[in-house]
Each structure stands twice: as structure tokens, then as C-alpha cells.
Amino acid sequence: MNKLNRAVELAAVKPRDALADELKISEDEVERLLAFHAQDASLYAAEKITLGPDAAEEMRRYRLTGDYEAFVSVLGMLNEARHIDQLDLCV
């Protein structure tokens, strides 16, 4: 959550590549964090009002990590498919 909050703060004053360097993450990850924030901001604000700030933060963390796990899963499947294609070429 710290990287998400920091990315949002810095996005107004720094270009994406400088943001990635400062946060020590890839530019793709910066884009993912900022897209998540844009998509999740209204839901997070509503949850802060209805559930309180602690519960809203926990729900946001759950959504962010769930999104990340899905992303990693897709990358894993693509990597596996690439290896299968390479093996097919060797046969």
C-alpha cells in the first residue's frame, strides 16, 4: 500500500520513468498501480464512509493483492506456453 500511495502522490509531479526509478519498480508496475488507484478510488472513498478507514484500507489491500495475483498467474501461463512452443520446435 505504501508504493500505491507514494505512486499516486508522485504521479502529479514526476514522469513515469522517474517514478519507477524512485519506487524501484518497473514502469509497467507504476502504470498498474496508477490504473488500480483510478479504478478503485470511488469504491475506496465509499468504503471509508460506510466501513471506516481501517476496514476500507484492508478491503483495498485485498483488491490490490488479488489483482496482482491474477496478473502473476497470467504471466506464469504465458511463460509456460512459451516454453511449450519452444519444446515443440525442438521435436
pLDDT in tens, 27-65: 988 998 999 999 999 999 999 999 999 998 998 888 888
Pairwise pLDDT comparison (89 vs 44), residue with the higher score: 44
Average pLDDT over the chain, rounded to an integer: 85
Query: What cell was used for 1?
Result: 500500500
Residue entry with cell 517514478: 19
| Angle 29-65-5 from CA coordinates, rounded to 5° | 60
For 79, the 3-state DSSP assignment is helix
Pairwise pLDDT comparison (63 vs 1), residue with the higher score: 63
